[in-house]
């Protein structure tokens, strides 16, 4: 898709510089495709280098990409990247829960003190 959109043959040194997966036009095109498909209740998958690019994976997830298809050599690094992303998300969620629980405990202690109650 990127090659066709940017008219860039990655193997041709005269135009290979035009192959830019992070070009705003490409990212906008990917976003439009994902939004249109999801609006119709369809999932969206991507194959190729970008789908296995460790830098692109968080971006593509954020855009709503449902499925990644990549070369066998990209699977382990991509899986590691995804594990780290989901772990960070879970840890952030747990941190938020603990913060709210701590706030509730502080409020409860403060309220009990105000009304001269213990425990």
| Domains of the chain: total | 1
Asked whether residue 109 is assigned to any structural domain, the reply reads no
> CB–CB of 68/99 below 8 Å?
no
At how many degrees (to 10) do helices 56-63 and 72-114 cross? 60
Asked whether residue 30 is assigned to any structural domain, the reply reads yes
Asked whether residue 84 is assigned to any structural domain, the reply reads yes
Asked whether residue 55 is assigned to any structural domain, the reply reads yes
Asked whether residue 106 is assigned to any structural domain, the reply reads no
What is the distance between the alpha carbons of residues 20 and 1, in angstroms, rounded to a whole number? 11
Give residue-wise pLDDT tens across range 61-119.
Answer: 889 999 999 999 999 998 888 888 877 776 666 677 667 777 777 777 777 777 765 55
Position of tokens 């495709």?
Answer: 33
Asked whether residue 57 is assigned to any structural domain, the reply reads yes
Asked whether residue 118 is assigned to any structural domain, the reply reads no
**What global pTM score does this model have?**
0.64
Asked whether residue 13 is assigned to any structural domain, the reply reads yes
3-state secondary structure 54-109: CCHHHHHHHHCCCEEECCHHHHHHHHHHHHHHHHHHHHHHHHHHHHHHHHHHHHHH
């Amino acid at each position: 898709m990127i090659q066709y959109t940017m008219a860039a043959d990655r193997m041709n040194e005269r135009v290979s510089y035009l192959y830019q997966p992070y070009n705003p036009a490409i990212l906008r095109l990917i976003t439009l495709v994902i939004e249109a498909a999801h609006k119709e209740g369809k999932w969206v998958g991507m194959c190729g280098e970008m789908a296995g690019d460790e830098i692109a994976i968080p971006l593509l997830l954020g855009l709503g990409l449902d499925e990644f298809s990549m070369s066998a050599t990209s699977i382990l690094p991509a899986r590691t990247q995804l594990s780290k992303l989901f772990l960070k998300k879970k840890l952030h969620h747990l941190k938020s829960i603990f913060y709210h629980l701590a706030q509730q405990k502080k409020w409860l202690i403060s309220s009990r003190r105000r009304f001269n109650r213990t425990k």
